Every structure is written in structure tokens, then in C-alpha cells.
Structure 1
Amino acid sequence: MRLFPRRALLTGASLATASALALGATAPALATVNDDGSKTVTVAAFTDLHGHLERVPNLAYQIEQIKAENPGDTIVASNGDSVGGSAYISSVQKDEPTIEALNAMGVQVSSAGNHEFDKGYKEDMAVGARLNTESNFPYLAANLTGADPEAIPPYTIIDTDSGVKVGFIGTAPISSPKDIAVDSFTNQGLAVTDPVAAVDKYAAQLKDGDESNGEADVVIALVHDDADIAAKVGENVDAAVGGHSHRKAELTTASGAPVFQPASFGKLLGRFDITVAADGKVGVKASMSEVADIEQTPDAPTNRQAMDIYSKAAAYAEKTNKTLAEIEGKALTARSSGAESTAVNMIADGFLAWGKDQKQGADLGYQNAGGTRADLDPNQDGKITVVESGTVQPFGNTLGTVEITGAQLVGLVEAQFGTDDSGKPRVKNAGFSRNLSYTYNPTSPEGSKVMDVRLDGKPVDPKSTYTVATTSYLLSSVFGEGKNRIDSTEVDLDAFNAWLQKVSPYKADQGQRGIGFTSSADSFKAGDKVEISLSSLSMTADEDKPTEAIMFDEKGNELGRGPVDNTLDGNETGKATFTITIPNYTEAGSYVYTIKAGATTGYVVLAFDQSAVAPGTGNGTEEAPADGAGQGDSDDTSAPGDTEGVPAPAGGRGQDVSGSATSRGSRVSALPRTGAESLGVAGVAFAMVAAGGVLVARRRADRA
């Protein structure tokens, strides 16, 4: 069987003519066969446009130029997520301007990205639904089950003017079940299978020589997953496009086929120049070009019709624009994949404020990084406008609350550290309201990195219940196992904007919620000098960076300090290494140490067993130095060099520590342990999170 684009899509010479006319160009002459009998086909492709119409005028211009170079044999493809999660200029009109722009650019085929399902399969993608009806091209997903193949076929074949049959196989992201609201995907009967296996299945079919099941001279895979996954397709694929993760990439498959991923938001346009020899042998050259933002580069060449679409959409958006609030400091998205950001954390603060006003209350706010699409004050003029805020949160989710256990909360923090869809280690920081902090060990195995989690300065109790305020999408995708879910009818953007107006002028919080901590050994004698290594002290964008990190004991006495290296290093950005002296204590117990680095505050816990107690005051932890030098009190009195002040110790002394009173030597556990429960023993206590709960594993320290 051969599947062609349904709806208004044309093929062959008529398709090339329609595309050229849509761009306002004169229809070119039909393509011809090369002198050596070979034929050349060009595929222009972009991915994850997300309604960023500011690049469409130049994007359309470049496509127009490519078509002029190879008339009749140029195909335009999108790799999904053209709509959904869109910039305000498009989302304010429900992405209608973007759909119009896609049609005007002559897009002939697209994979089905996760955001094409934001409003629901039945609402947007089924036969007769909005996207299916209004788009002049098919959305493909070979690995999607539960959908009508007439609505979302696995592949399509496009005939070029020179007679080359180009087969396109599309796939939805393997992460779809968690990247799409349950009510619009899973609950509508959809599921995804392995995208690579699906591509290889249909690629083999299109090249098996059997005309009855569809044949193609060239096979292109539109894989709406990262290029690392797209590059795993088999030898029957001649070229592949990656997407979904918004990064730029250039790879090859095991068989040597080129793979590119043209970033996102229309920033790059990819191009495959494909030669089909007279004997059927296929050769492909790949390249990518930058696309100009017409707002930043107004003199960039543009396509007339695309410019008209942009101008009308911009004018409509401007009608709704006004200043919502003033902001002091910067609220920016991360400049490194997976890292924390001030913008995401700020939105979580807004959600918490909304939740506290609800009848059921809220203990913390939560926002996912993917739900935060742009800087809150991109032009740095100290004002947040309706357009700017709407571009940051374009989804139109409603807000709600849900109850989770402390064990599940610790698991939520731990879940940030894992592997991506291709199996590579990754950090995927979420946004937590400023009343949550955590400490993690970056060197620990996945599942056991988080060592201390605190809410309002107090250790999270695994058996207690905490109420989270977040969006309807996250309530169903992240908090599906929570209890007592309460949905509201208030749109997340509306609630956030109302909060902005209430707190204006808002002072942006540029502190990290989580910090990394390691030390030079597992256990120490009281009085030992210990090298402490800290990381994740700084945001990755252009926020103010801390210059110095300081550690204080439970009474506010300074134990040590060191300069912060703010070299960009993903989530670990902001590193400091310095030496502290382990204090002597007269009582057994767990002791909370405070770390300050500019706006970032973190906590670590040392646990002493009874035999670790040393007589006397040792390093002055029971009596403050006479002159107060290097000291900070628990009432926020500032220590020298610490302009933010030293907060009261989080919980002060910990719970009594259980352990053997017969062990020999004075030793302490020198690595932090989870704040979820008292784990102090004569040794290092680790918290490992599994299946949403907390499992405690203890390792005995050496006895010397």
C-alpha cells in the first residue's frame, strides 16, 4: 500500500507549483535529469518551531531560495512540535498564524511531535480535527498505536518532478506518555513503541522491491527524538532528522547516513542534497544554515507572504500587551541543558503563592523546566509585560493541588538525576519554590544522589504529607500517584500574572535550590582537617554570580571559605573547594552545617555517635570567639564576607543518633545524610530513592 498526503496536499509538478506560488514566487521550470543520468533531490527541514514566528520570514526566504536552486525536486519537511508550547505571538491566537505560515512555506510532511497532542488527539489530530484539517500536509508517526492510520499514517511517499520517490517515515517521541498530559494522550487510547524499530520496519518495507506495499528510491526518517536516537536507525534509511531536545547536532548512522538536528524555534534550517544515480545508488550531503530573527535583524531578507503573516500576528499580540510588574534582578532560563534557572524557580514561587490562597493550602510550588519557554524579562528593561509572560507560559494549563508523602517528595528531587531517552546520564532540574532546598552528591550512583531535602528549613519527613501546587499537566504526568488531587479552573498564566502584579516590584531570587557536596574522605576524627568540594552554587545564565562560598557550623561559627569558580559546567556550574576543621563536640547527635554562596543556601549534616564525643570545647563550637570574628549568629547576623547573612540552622541539632556506644575511637560521618529521617550511626549514611520511597543503606566506618 502506498500512502499519500490526504486533505489538500498535491503531488508531483502540481505540488512544486503550489508551493512556489504559496511563497509568492514565480513557478520555476520543471526539474530535469542530470547529464550522467542521476537525479538530485533537496529536502529542507526544521524542527520544534513552537510558533516562533519571528524567524518565519527569513526561514521562508531561505526555503524559497532552495526551491529556486532545485525546482520541482525540493521537499519541505517539519520534524514536529511546530505548534504547542508556542511563543505568545502565536499562542494568543491558538497557533492559527503558525499553521498559516507552515502552509505558506509549502511544508509537505511532518512527524507528529508531542506538542501536536497538547490539546488532545481527538481535539487536534484525529480525522476532521483542527490540525488534521487545517494543515496541508500529513503528520506521521510509525510508532504510535491507538490512532487512526488515516489521521496519522506511519509514512508517506512524495514523487518529485524528476520521478524520484521519496519516502518519509515519522515517529512520535518515545517519552510521549510523560511529555503529554494523560487526559490528551494515554486516556485517549494512545501509546508509543520504540521509534527506531518502527522506522526500520517501514524502511525495510519501502525498499523490499515489492510494489504492492509501497516502494521508495530514498527513505528519510523524521524522528521526533534526540539525534542520538535518530542515529540508531538502520541501513535502509538514507538520512534522518532528530528533534525534541532542542539541541543542534550533526551525526551519522552506523551505515553512514547523515543525521542532523536543527536546534529549535526556527534557529536553523537543515538541508539534505540527495543524488540518486542511474543504478539507484543514493548519496546524501547534509548541511545547516542559521535563520535570522526578524526582530533582532530587521534588515534580513524575507519572504513577502511570510512577513505579512508575522506582521499581522505581531500587531494582534501587541494589542493585548501591557506592563504587568517591575522586576529587580534577572529571571532567566538556563543556558545549559538540565540546569536550574531563576525563571522556572520564580514560576514555582508564584504557584506556591496561589496554592496558599486555596482552601486546601499548599506547602510548595513545582514547575517543570519544559513548561517555561523563555526569559521572563528578555530585554532586561526591569518590566515584565503580558507578551513576555505569555511567551514563557503558553500552554493554557489550569492549576491545582495534590498531596504527596515526604518519601515521594524526596523521590521527586532524586528523579532529576537520571538518564535521557538515549540512555545517557542527564540532569533535568525542575523548578521548586524557594522554601525547598536539597543537597546531593554528584559522584553517587543514580538513585542515591540526594542526601538532604528540607522544606521551610526543616528535614522532610518521609511519612508526612505535603501539598504541592502545580499545573494540570504535571498533576497528571508527574503526580499521577498523588492523593486528593483538586483541580481549579484558573489558568496558570492568569494566576501567575495576578501574583506578579501583587508582588511588584519583585526581587528575583538567584539562589540554587540544590547544591552538590563531596568531601575528601568518608569519616574523620574530631579535629581533622577536611577538604570540602561544593558545586551547583550558581545559575548558568547572566544572573549575579557568587564569588565566595562559606560553611558555618550549627551555631553560626565559620568553619571555612573559598572562592567560587563560575565556569559554565552544566548543572555543576559554581564550584568551590576549601578546607574545614571538624569540630569537637561534647554531645552525640547530628549537626546541621550551613553553606552560603551569594543567594544560594544549602545544608549538610554530620552525625556523631556516642564514642565520637571529645571532651572540652575544641574549636570553639560551645563558646563564640571573644571578638566575634568569622562568626554569624542564628538570628541572621552577618559574618564577614557574607552579605546575605547566616540563616538560623535548619532544625539546629538533629534528632538523637542511634549507634553503638562501644565503638572505638572518635569518628564522625563526614558525608551528609538525608534530612528525611535521622540516619546517624558510626559511619556514613546514604539515602537511596527507589520506586517513590526512601531506602536507607548504612556502611560502617573503619575503626582506628
Structure 2
Amino acid sequence: MLRTGRILLALSACLLAGSSFAERDGKTIAVANSAGPVEVKIIAFNDLHGHLEAPRLSLLLPAAHKAGNFVPAGGAAYLGSAIKSLKQANPYHAVVSAGDMIGASPLVSALFLDEPTIEAVNAFGIDFNAVGNHEFDKGYAELLRMQNGGCAKFTPREPCALSKPFTGANFGFLAANTYQADGKTLFPATGIKTFGSGTQQVKIGFIGLTLKNTPHIVTPAGVAGLTFTDEARTANALVPELKAQGADAIVVVIHEGGTTDGTPDDSCPSLSGAIVPILERLDPGIDVVVSGHTHRAYICDYGKRNPGKPFLLTSAGQYGTLVTDIKLTIDPRTHKVVAKSANNVIVQGDAFVNHAGVRIQPSDDYPRFVKDSEVDAIVSRYTDAAASLSKRIVGRLMTPLTRRQVASGESELGNLIADAQLAATQSAEHGGAQIALMNPGGVRADLYVPYGGGDLSYGQIFSVQPFGNNLVVKSFSGAQLRGLLEQQFKRRATANDHPRILFPSTGFSYAYNLQKPAGSRISAMRLNGRPIIAGEIYRVTINSYLAYGGDQFSLFNQGGHISGGELDIDALEDYLRKHSPIQPPATNRITRIN
């Protein structure tokens, strides 16, 4: 398999008159030629995030079926089966992922450095993955290991714990707009897959893109030396190259996305987000844009919204709960796509009882898939290896704690984590912290227990904080602290963008007013009832991701380093043990004015 340069996947030349060849389940089969157009299936998913086990999520069945019927969705063994089932429907197929296949993963994958997820996706049989931001969570050297294999150690955790050696991905990573210092892309920019032969041969070109904003939302050290260029400009420059290589259709696979309101399977008039300005600048010669990043599911005929941009835009949500079935009909004589359509298929999984005590079970009114045995064996192998750690009881909650944000931007779970990090660093030995601030993007799951109370396992809290960040205590003046909080609103490119509010620890409070000019929105900062003084020094606990300027909080770099070391998840576990049973913390630490 090619590791560098352009990836070309070509099927064998036709050896039988009147026939061409295609791939089905890893075997080359003869397919009779026809005089008409050729139909190719593109199968897509995104934002798997290492969810090998069922994520205990439910999706609403389409309106054509039983109204109000939610079904369980997700689980790698079911996703692998769904993908293989869609492949069997058409021997002309390609499978792509729009990034964040790994990173921010649950314990079963993260404990083994996401090697289990790569092995499971190898069993799916896919062609390309457009690298997402979370693939850089452990640095790009570790990401190269995910592609190429091997047991070189780039993180505190030991690689190749079960697989000796780890062989890497059997599919191609694409990163057209991610450049190294030598001017070469970190991974290949494009790939081509060829179907049929002779007068019936068609080619699909793929462009893989990582969101340009990646350096601002990952640990800076993990992407040091890399440059992320403009997505649309990069893609447009590659279109003529792919056309010159004979591509009849071009698919952009991009780890960037949007959000929609209402029914998504139309022109998506409510579509918003960072994907929109990219689409508005893309070459109209592109046929399909497979997107991700926002964890939203949608299928949009973008040409109805802007006739000059006739793209089909898709996203399959998150965690393997959906897979997108895209159909392209190509006329091999004119080398044009004459029809295209897409449908998001629910990957129905195992029945479960949700936090409200309601049993969510599969429905026979919608396609169901049998677990793929090869994928299931991989998942079981790693699940068994992680079981003793995952099932360990670490505390007790009196009610579920979620990431759901109140009007101020706080959440119960976010505030609890901030309290845990403050408690872990309050002693003089550990930094003498007075305040802790937690970023919302670092809280990756909710903590569900039955109403009335229930035990928490280590696996549950690991899903909440899977990154393995260290706690860092830094010193800031009151004036610097105000400046840091002002940076919460810097990200707002449009009126629809929400501030990224940092969760504060108990005892620290302030107010903000978005009607005020930038730089003057923060007021009434207090610590344990006393006003924050501009010239005084305060000791603040943050995780290592924020400490080096993550999430565009560049002013965190200016703090004086006092101490660091403990893992964030260890701090949370220790807090839960000491304070159980846990009641929800107050969400009145921040006041939003107007």
C-alpha cells in the first residue's frame, strides 16, 4: 500500500470480452458491461471517536416508519456489518471517513492508544480517512504510527500492549491542506479509485481535508511545525489535477461541518457553520462534499440553495450511529455525473435501558444488521483486556450529571470537574491553587445513573475525560485573568456562534455582557466573595491543553508556571471517592447580563 504521494487504487484490466471487473468483499468479480451510465456507491461515516462498544445512544426512526419510535444506534460490529451490507448492494463502491476516527475515545480504545479502532476499521474494509483535528491529540508522530504501524513510543502510555506488533491502517489517510516544514503534505492529498474498464470505465477522485482551525483546538505541541492551509483554496487547486488523471467525479472528504434545523434531507435552508463559507468558494466541478466535525447528521442538495454550487453535502452524525449511502450515476461517454442522491442509514444496535428507565430496542420497521464477527472479535478482545479497570467503582451520584449548559454557559458536570481539579491542587505541595477553569470541549460524555442514585465506574468517567491531560497551576494577575475571560468571546465569527465559556470552580464568580464592546464584557469578578484586584496575583489550575494556548486561549501562555503533574482523570476519581454521594454542583457562578 502506498504511504506517500498520490494514492491510486485501480482494478484489474478487463480480461474477458464484454465484461469488466469490480471488487466485492475483497474479491475481484466480473461484471457485465452495459451501454448506459455507471452507478457507483460511496459509503461514508465520520467522527467515530473510537466508539467500539455501543455508545448507548438512540435515534428517531424516519417519519415513514413508526412516529416517535427511537431505536438504539451504534457499535463497531454493527457499523462494520452495515458497511459490508451496503458494499454487497453494488460491486462498484468506495468507503470513506471524514475524520476524527480516533481521539477523544472511550476507555476500551484510548487505553490501547486507539490501536483497537484502527484494527476494527481495517476489518470494515475502507479506502480513505480524511484526517480530523482529534487525530492530532497525541501529536502527529503518533498519528503517523497509526498509518504506518510499529511500536515506537510517543506518549506516556505503552504502545502495542496487545498487538505485537501493531501493523497500522490498511487504508489511506488523506490530508491535502496539512503541510510539513519541507513543503510536503503530512499524508497524501488525494486518492483515485477506478471502476470497470474500456468504454465503461469510470474514476472517482477523492480530496481529503483537515479543518484549517486545527492548531487552535489541539495541543499546540502536537502540531508544532505543521501548517494548515485554507480548505477551499486547497481543494480547488487539486480539481484540475484529478481531472487530468481522468477523474469523472470528485468527492471532497472534509473534517469540517455545519448545523441544520428541521428536516435535513432537502436544500437545508437553515444550514450554518464553518462549512458554508467553504462551500461558497468551492469549485463547482466538485460533486459531493462528505463532512464531519460538528457531530450533526444532514443531507443537503446544496444546489437548491445556490445553483452555482451543485454539491451534495452529507454528514453521518457521530460515533457510528449512522452511515451515509451515496449514489453517483456517471455517464462514461461524457465523463459527467448525471444523477446523485444520498440517504443516512441508522446503524441499529443492542437494546438498552436509558437513564430515564425506558427500554430502547431495535425496530423491524427499519433495516437491521447482524454483528460482524471479525469486528466483534476485535472489540471483545480489547474489552476483555480493559474490563477490570473499566468496571471499577469510583463513586456514587445521586442524579445524572450532564454537559447541558444553562443560560450562563455553565454545566453541572463541567463545574464538578473544575471543583475536582481545584481540590487536587489546593495544597501548597500541589500548587496552592485558588481557582480552576475547565474547557467545555474537554468534557466528552455525560454521567448517567438512575434517578435516585447509582454507582459510577472508571469506564464512565474515562469517557468524560479521555485525553489524559495533566493539571497545571499557573499564576496570573487579576488583569490577566480578566483578559483570559474576555478571550471566551473571541471565537464568535457570526451571531450564531456561541461563546466557549470556561467552567469555573466553586468560590469564583463573575458576570459578562455580550452587548458590551469586545474587551469590556467581563465584570464583577470575585473570589470567595472578595473582588479580584487587577494588580494581585492569583493561582489558577488548568489542564495541559489550555496551559499551552488550546482553544485559542493564547493568554494562558503568559502565566507563570508554578506546578503540574497529576492527570485530570485521577483528580476526578479522587474527588468522587472523597465526596460521594455527589449532588449536582450549583450553576450560579457566572451571571449572563442581557
Shared fold by TM > 0.5?
yes
Q: Any conservation in 1 of the 2:3–2:148 contact (CA below 8 Å)? A: no
Corresponding residue for residue 20 of structure 1: 25
Corresponding residue for residue 284 of structure 1: 340
1:65 aligns with 2:85: yes
Report SS of the residue matched to 1:394.
coil
Code of the residue aligned with 1:192 in structure 2: it is F
Q: Any conservation in 2 of the 1:33–1:39 contact (CA below 8 Å)? A: no
Corresponding residue for residue 279 of structure 2: 231
Corresponding residue for residue 44 of structure 1: 43
Code of the residue aligned with 2:188 in structure 1: it is P
Superposition pairs of residues 604-619 of structure 1, within 5 angstroms: none
Corresponding residue for residue 322 of structure 1: 392
Change (3 A) 1:215 1:441: same
1:219 to 238, 244, 250: 250
Of the two, which has the highest radius of gyration?
Answer: 1
Change (3 A) 1:440 1:236: same
Corresponding residue for residue 152 of structure 1: 187
Report SS of the residue matched to 1:134.
coil
Change (3 A) 1:286 1:295: same
Corresponding residue for residue 434 of structure 2: 363
Deviations 1:310-343 (A, max 9, x none): 3333333322121101122332122799943211
1:482 to 558, 564, 579: 558
Change (3 A) 1:458 1:247: farther
Tell me how far apart the structure 2 counterparts of residues 218 and 341 of structure 1 sit (CA, whole Å). 45
Change (3 A) 1:460 1:279: same
Tell me how far apart the structure 1 counterparts of residues 97 and 408 of structure 2 sit (CA, whole Å). 25
Tell me how far apart the structure 2 counterparts of residues 310 and 175 of structure 1 sit (CA, whole Å). 32
Structure 1 unmatched ranges of 5 or more: 22-26, 519-704
Task: Give TM-score, length-normalised by structure 1.
Answer: 0.66
Change (3 A) 1:447 1:4: farther
Corresponding residue for residue 571 of structure 1: none
The RMSD of aligned alpha carbons is 3.1
Task: Give how far 1:176 is off.
Answer: 1.1
Tell me how far apart the structure 1 counterparts of residues 373 and 86 of structure 2 sit (CA, whole Å). 16
Superposition pairs of residues 512-661 of structure 1, within 5 angstroms: 512-518=588-594
Tell me how far apart the structure 1 counterparts of residues 422 and 291 of structure 2 sit (CA, whole Å). 36
Deviations 1:111-143 (A, max 9, x none): 111111111112332785659960112211111
1:497 to 573, 577, 580: 573
Deviations 1:52-79 (A, max 9, x none): 11221221121111111111x1111111
Corresponding residue for residue 608 of structure 1: none
Q: Which has the higher helix share?
A: 2
Task: Give how far 1:39 is off.
Answer: 1.0
Q: Any conservation in 1 of the 2:8–2:192 contact (CA below 8 Å)? A: no
Report SS of the residue matched to 2:557.
coil
Tell me how far apart the structure 2 counterparts of residues 182 and 424 of structure 1 sit (CA, whole Å). 27
Corresponding residue for residue 669 of structure 1: none
Code of the residue aligned with 1:517 in structure 2: it is I
Q: Any conservation in 1 of the 2:491–2:500 contact (CA below 8 Å)? A: no
1:260 to 305, 314, 320: 314
Task: Give how far 1:151 is off.
Answer: 4.7
Code of the residue aligned with 1:313 in structure 2: it is Y
1:310 aligns with 2:375: no
Corresponding residue for residue 198 of structure 1: 234
Task: Give how far 1:347 is off.
Answer: 0.9
Tell me how far apart the structure 1 counterparts of residues 481 and 33 of structure 2 sit (CA, whole Å). 63
Residue correspondences, number: 501
Task: Give how far 1:460 is off.
Answer: 2.3
1:140 to 174, 193, 207: 174
Corresponding residue for residue 98 of structure 2: 79
Task: Give how far 1:106 is off.
Answer: 0.8
Change (3 A) 1:14 1:484: farther
Code of the residue aligned with 1:353 in structure 2: it is A
Deviations 1:176-227 (A, max 9, x none): 11211111112xx1121111111111123322xx3xxx34211111111124
Tell me how far apart the structure 2 counterparts of residues 370 and 284 of structure 1 sit (CA, whole Å). 35
Change (3 A) 1:34 1:89: farther
Tell me how far apart the structure 2 counterparts of residues 511 and 304 of structure 1 sit (CA, whole Å). 46
1:180 to 214, 218, 233: 218
Corresponding residue for residue 438 of structure 1: 510
Change (3 A) 1:368 1:512: same
Q: Any conservation in 2 of the 1:377–1:383 contact (CA below 8 Å)? A: no
Q: Any conservation in 1 of the 2:418–2:503 contact (CA below 8 Å)? A: yes
Task: Give how far 1:274 is off.
Answer: 0.8
Task: Give how far 1:105 is off.
Answer: 0.5
Code of the residue aligned with 2:180 in structure 1: it is G
Change (3 A) 1:502 1:192: same
Report SS of the residue matched to 1:506.
coil
Tell me how far apart the structure 1 counterparts of residues 185 and 346 of structure 2 sit (CA, whole Å). 35
Code of the residue aligned with 1:367 in structure 2: it is M
Task: Give how far 1:427 is off.
Answer: 2.5
Report SS of the residue matched to 1:107.
coil
Q: Any conservation in 2 of the 1:338–1:427 contact (CA below 8 Å)? A: no
Task: Give TM-score, length-normalised by structure 2.
Answer: 0.77
Tell me how far apart the structure 2 counterparts of residues 485 and 34 of structure 1 sit (CA, whole Å). 70
Structure 2 unmatched ranges of 5 or more: 14-20, 55-74, 152-165, 259-272, 353-359, 363-367
